[in-house]
């Protein structure tokens, strides 16, 4: 990592740090050259260790060639050379030399451990892709390898430094690989590795990775923007030099030693801003930025005062990332003024140390000086960026399938950030475009799951409000909310929120199915006069190939396992013929009575031998239920349920003609009863068919009858029967059968209504 840097109290004139190593030499680096590079920043380096790693890697790769035709060993050697520019420790250099040996040669982890130690072996293992993945999609394989890499990074940040250097050299030599592979590598670089470098503060690494990926992803846009930037550079060369001179002189007159550097935005950065803000090239005002590097922290603010008293300030363009650093440890003062020639001038004012961290991020935190290595633990205490990375990996790696993991990782890494505060002043960094829902999940998953409202800067605000820098957000919660709405998943922008909502939704649905499955199994055991117990079902789990009783119940509720098979697993002597009717959840008398009712249109007889039916309160119950799509069902109806695999229970009135479709599947029938809470009444779906006179105002009068009876119209379909009559199919929401009957009676009494009946599909 970086060498000695000027601290905030230093008096030396600042200078920019050395850039990441780029080698143009056509010949492969010699062994002694690599050692000399390391010795420049670490005189006490272990030369023997470096030499042994060089020889081992060269022999291991043998005659292997790269796509360019160069010896393969040239690649790990160049990766190590890039890392010498970051002043990393010996173990990181050695791991860079060996990083492809386990994956691409006969070398093994055990051999690496024996020859170079377990620390280096762990680094190399962390950089080795998973082999023989039994996954169909390329995205799934990519995600699983990324998951393995991120977990290794969480254990040791040096894995990340090596991986970024590895990716950088591969991108520098991308022209030698086939076009399709080039594009895939560029997409992966732009989506994951460049944002990852930015999130840990390695700005120079990010810029070069983006610059190498851009011409592969959008060659036309890259060419146009590069040409425009070159034209501007030629036109404004003298102006940039003049601004640098004036800034340096103004600060020097106040006794502030400074280094001023004008830098033009990179093509990819310009294009991304144009895309994000829907701007034309001419509308961009910050294509050129000036970095003002001063010796001390106090002089940052002195320099700011000089600038603001010399040139007019552009309102709304001031940000103090020194008092409130970014999560990647970035610190600078940003301001924009109208400078010489009425030119907008964007300034970044920082110390030398801040400049090092701004360019090299994590790699600037630890000093490898005099052979004293900084451990990953020490680094994690120094770097908020590394702490953020570990925290991000924890929730990304938890429970998502490969495709979701890849999606959430891209969401977390790619977005720019806004900074908001809790009422107690805790800083919360979020992706740009984040909502209070994202904020709630950033504070804690439980808070997000129980969020019902929010206040922004002390005022009640919608949960979908877009947060801005500096907002104070207070989250209002309620334990009565069992799970967040599933629709939130498509509305949030942070990977953590999206993953948490998806997990909570799945858990809620699973709990509903498990509750239904438990009731079905317990009722079946009761009907079969067999005792149910969790202990007995636990003993039967191997026969059902499930890991827990909750897994069994959820599978029964989803229709994946028959309830009769579950009982038979507990009681092998359970009779199949009895199970056929009992598994339906209907007593035999009710099942036969129902079949007679279908045939002769008579009322189903009352049942005296029925086991307790499953209680149904409504769609917001703890069971996965829905109502018949045509006609619905309301309290007061005799009801039955049809169990559909993966969909839960569909509730039908017992006189619904639609039930005829399920007469040959008794195992899908469930005996249900209403369980209505009078203290919290709710409406239920029903459907009414009306034949009315085709006159102006008829529909309004029908709607008035329904409204006066405190019912709700959910949907209306109208069909012209003749020039004088119209048929209306109205989906209503009513409290019960008595409520529905009263509405139909009042509609029939109207002179413009020829007929009104309830419809059951």
Phi–psi pair at 558, nearest 5 degrees = -85, -5
**Average of per-residue pLDDT across 236-251:** 84
- Class of 221-364 per CATH? alpha beta
Which pLDDT score, from 0 to 100, does residue 576 have?
Answer: 52
Give the residue-averaged pLDDT of 65-90.
Answer: 90
Cβ–Cβ < 8 Å for 83, 93: yes
pLDDT of 597 reads 46
Tokens 């970095």, residue? Answer: 291
Answer whether 0.75 is exceeded by the pTM.
Answer: no
How far apart CA 585 and CA 596 sit, in angstroms, is 18
Q: What residues form DSSP beta bridges with 263?
A: 289
Percent of the residues in the chain that have a pLDDT greater than 70, as a whole number: 79
Catalytic residue among 33, 70, 103, 119, which?
103
pLDDT of residue 115: 93
Paired with 456 in beta bridges are 459, 473
Q: Which tokens is 349 given? A: 């004012």
Is 367:2 a contact under the CB 8 Å cutoff?
Answer: yes
pLDDT, average across residues 445-449: 91
Half-sphere exposure of 669 (CA within 13 A, CB side): 27
Q: Given pLDDT bands bounded at 50, 70 and 90, which one contains residue 721? A: confident
Average pLDDT of span 644-671: 79
Tokens of 70: 């160069």
Report pLDDT for 612.
Answer: 58
Instruction: Identify the band that residue 373 occupies on the pLDDT scale cut at 50, 70 and 90.
Output: very low
The DSSP element (H or E) to which 687 belongs, if any, is: strand 684-693
Q: CA separation (Å) from 384 to 143, 308, 322, 378, 446?
A: 25, 31, 14, 12, 24
Computed on alpha carbons and rounded to an integer, the radius of gyration of the chain in Å comes to 35
Residue 597 contacts residue 647 (beta carbons within 8 Å): no
DSSP run (H or E) holding 639 = strand 639-644
The domain covering 684-758 belongs, at the CATH homologous superfamily level, to ACT domain (3.30.70.260)
What is the per-residue pLDDT across 8-27, written as a single tens digit (0 to 9) for each?
Answer: 334 444 555 445 655 554 56
Note if 8 is an active site residue. no
Cβ atoms < 10 Å from Cβ of 186: 22
- Catalytic pick among 47, 104, 489, 714: 104
What is the distance between the alpha carbons of residues 654 and 600, in angstroms, rounded to a whole number?
A: 14
Q: What are the angstrom distances between the C-alpha of 241 and each of 235, 245, 265, 335, 588? A: 12, 6, 16, 19, 94
Question: Looking at residue 369, what is its pLDDT?
Answer: 32
The predicted pLDDT at position 455 comes to 94
Tokens matching residue 573: 């002597």
> Average pLDDT for residues 460-470, to the nearest whole number?
89
Is the distance from CB of 94 to CB of 53 less than 8 angstroms? yes
Q: Which of 598, 581, 399 is nearest to 500 (CA)?
A: 399
Fold of the domain spanning 384-496? Ubiquitin-like (UB roll) (3.10.20)
Residue 607 has pLDDT above 70, yes or no: no
Reported confidence tier of residue 2, pLDDT bands at 50, 70, 90: very low
DSSP letters, 122-133, are HHHHHTSPPPS-
Reduce the secondary structure of 332-346 to three states and give it as a string: CEEEEEECHHHCEEE
Res. 381 pLDDT band, cuts 50 70 90: very low
Active site residue 103: yes
Looking at residue 519, its pLDDT comes to 82
> What does the pLDDT look like over 188-198, one tens digit per residue?
888 888 888 88
Contact 155, 122 (CB under 8 A): yes
Residue 453: DSSP 8-state = E
Give the CA dihedral 644, 648, 651, 654, nearest 10 degrees: 40
Q: Which CB contacts under 8 angstroms, 24+ apart, belong to 649-652?
A: 649/516, 649/616, 649/623, 649/624, 649/625, 650/625, 650/626, 651/616, 651/625, 651/626, 651/627, 652/628
Lowest mean pLDDT among 164-168, 342-346, 694-698: 342-346
For residue range 149-207, list pLDDT tens digits in order.
777 777 787 888 898 999 999 999 988 888 888 998 998 888 888 888 887 778 888 89
Domain boundaries, the chain: 31-216, 221-364, 384-496, 505-582, 588-674, 684-758
Check if the beta carbon of residue 604 is closer than 8 Å to that of residue 613: no
Q: How far apart are CA 93 and CA 81, in angstroms?
A: 8
pLDDT digits (tens, 9 = 90+) for 36-61: 999 998 899 999 999 999 999 999 99
What architecture is domain 31-216?
Orthogonal Bundle (1.10)
**Secondary structure class of 394 (helix, strand, coil):** helix
Taking Cα atoms as reference points, which of 228, 235, 240 lies closest to residue 283?
228
Query: For the residues 743-755, what does the mean pLDDT come to?
Result: 90
Q: Is residue 578 predicted with pLDDT exceeding 50?
A: no
Mean pLDDT along residues 208-224: 91
C-alpha to C-alpha distance for 481 and 406, rounded to whole angstroms: 29
Between residues 529 and 585, the one the model is more confident about: 529
pLDDT digits (tens, 9 = 90+) for 260-280: 888 878 888 888 878 777 777
Q: In the predicted model, is pLDDT for residue 679 greater than 50?
A: yes
In sequence order, the β-bridge partners of residue 566 are: none
pLDDT in tens, 388-442: 666 666 555 554 555 566 665 665 555 567 778 888 888 787 888 899 999 999 8
* Residue corresponding to tokens 């002390």: 458
Q: How confident is the model at residue 633 (pLDDT cuts 50, 70, 90)?
A: confident
pLDDT of residue 21: 56
pLDDT at position 411 is 56
Rounded to whole angstroms, the Cα distance separating 121 from 53 reads 12
């Amino acid at each position: 990592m970086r060498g000695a840097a000027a601290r905030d109290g230093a008096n030396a004139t600042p200078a920019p740090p050395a850039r990441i190593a780029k080698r143009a030499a056509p010949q492969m680096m010699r062994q002694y050259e690599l050692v000399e590079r390391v010795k420049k920043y670490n005189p006490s380096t272990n030369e023997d260790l470096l030499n042994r790693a060089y020889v081992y890697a060269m022999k291991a790769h043998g005659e292997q060639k790269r796509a360019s035709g160069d010896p393969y060993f040239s690649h790990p050697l160049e990766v190590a050379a890039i890392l010498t520019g970051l002043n990393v420790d010996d173990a990181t250099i050695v791991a860079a030399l060996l990083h492809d040996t386990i994956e691409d040669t006969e070398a093994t982890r055990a051999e690496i451990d024996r020859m170079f130690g377990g620390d280096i072996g762990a680094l190399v293992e962390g950089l080795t892709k998973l082999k023989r993945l039994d996954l169909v999609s390329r995205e799934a394989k990519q995600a699983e390898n990324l998951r393995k890499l991120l977990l290794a990074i969480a254990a040791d940040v040096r894995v990340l430094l090596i991986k970024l250097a590895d990716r950088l050299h591969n991108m520098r030599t991308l022209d030698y690989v086939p076009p399709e592979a080039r594009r895939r590598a560029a997409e992966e670089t732009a989506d994951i590795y460049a944002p990852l470098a930015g999130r840990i503060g390695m700005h120079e690494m990010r810029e070069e990775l983006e610059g190498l990926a851009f011409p592969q992803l959008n060659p036309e846009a890259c060419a146009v923007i590069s040409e425009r930037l070159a034209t501007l550079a030629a036109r404004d060369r003298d102006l940039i030099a003049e601004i640098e001179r004036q800034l340096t002189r103004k600060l020097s007159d106040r006794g502030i030693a400074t280094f001023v550097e004008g830098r033009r935005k990179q093509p990819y950065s310009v294009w991304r801003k144009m895309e994000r803000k829907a701007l034309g090239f001419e509308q961009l005002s910050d294509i050129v930025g000036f970095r003002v590097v001063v010796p001390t922290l106090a002089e940052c603010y002195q320099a700011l005062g000089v600038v603001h008293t010399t040139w007019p300030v552009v309102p709304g363009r001031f940000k103090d990332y020194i008092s409130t650093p970014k999560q990647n440890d970035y610190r600078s003062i940003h301001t924009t003024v109208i400078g010489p020639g009425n030119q907008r001038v964007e300034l970044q004012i920082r110390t030398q140390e801040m400049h090092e961290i701004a360019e090299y991020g994590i790699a600037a935190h630890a000093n490898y000086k005099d052979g004293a290595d900084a451990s990953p633990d020490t680094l994690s205490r120094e770097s908020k960026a590394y702490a953020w990375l570990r925290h991000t990996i924890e929730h990304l790696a938890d429970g998502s399938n490969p495709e979701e993991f890849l999606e959430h990782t891209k969401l977390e890494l790619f977005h720019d950030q806004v900074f908001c505060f809790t009422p107690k002043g805790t800083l919360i960094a979020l992706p740009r475009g984040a909502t209070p829902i994202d904020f709630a999940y950033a504070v804690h998953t439980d808070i997000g799951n129980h969020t019902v409202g929010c206040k922004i800067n002390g005022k009640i605000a919608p949960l979908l409000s877009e947060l801005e820098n500096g907002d104070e957000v207070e989250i209002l919660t309620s334990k009565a909310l069992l799970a967040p709405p599933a629709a939130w998943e498509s509305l949030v922008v942070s990977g953590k929120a999206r993953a948490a909502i998806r997990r909570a939704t799945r858990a809620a649905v699973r709990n509903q199915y498990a509750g239904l499955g438990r009731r079905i199994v317990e009722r079946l055991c009761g009907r079969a006069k067999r005792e149910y117990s969790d202990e007995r079902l636990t003993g039967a789990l191997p026969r059902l190939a499930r890991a827990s009783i909750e897994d069994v119940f959820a599978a029964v509720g989803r229709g994946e396992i028959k309830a009769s098979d579950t009982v038979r697993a507990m009681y092998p002597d359970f009779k199949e013929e009895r199970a056929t009717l009992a598994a339906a959840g209907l007593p035999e008398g009710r099942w036969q009575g129902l079949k007679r009712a279908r045939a002769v249109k008579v009322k189903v007889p009352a049942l005296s031998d029925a086991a307790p039916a499953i209680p149904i309160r409504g769609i917001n119950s703890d069971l996965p239920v829905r109502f018949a799509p045509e006609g619905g069902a309301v309290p007061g109806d005799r009801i039955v349920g049809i169990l559909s695999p993966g969909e839960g229970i569909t509730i039908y009135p017992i006189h619904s003609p639609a039930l005829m479709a399920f007469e040959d599947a008794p195992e899908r029938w469930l005996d249900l009863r209403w369980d209505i809470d009078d203290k919290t009444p709710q409406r239920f779906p029903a459907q009414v068919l009306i034949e009315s006179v085709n006159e102006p105002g008829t529909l309004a009068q029908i709607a008035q009858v329904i409204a006066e009876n405190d019912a709700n119209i959910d949907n209306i379909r109208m069909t012209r029967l003749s020039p004088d009559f119209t048929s209306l199919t109205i989906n209503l929401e009513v409290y019960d059968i008595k409520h529905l009957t009263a509405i139909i009676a009042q509609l029939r009494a109207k002179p413009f209504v020829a007929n009104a009946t309830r419809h059951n599909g």
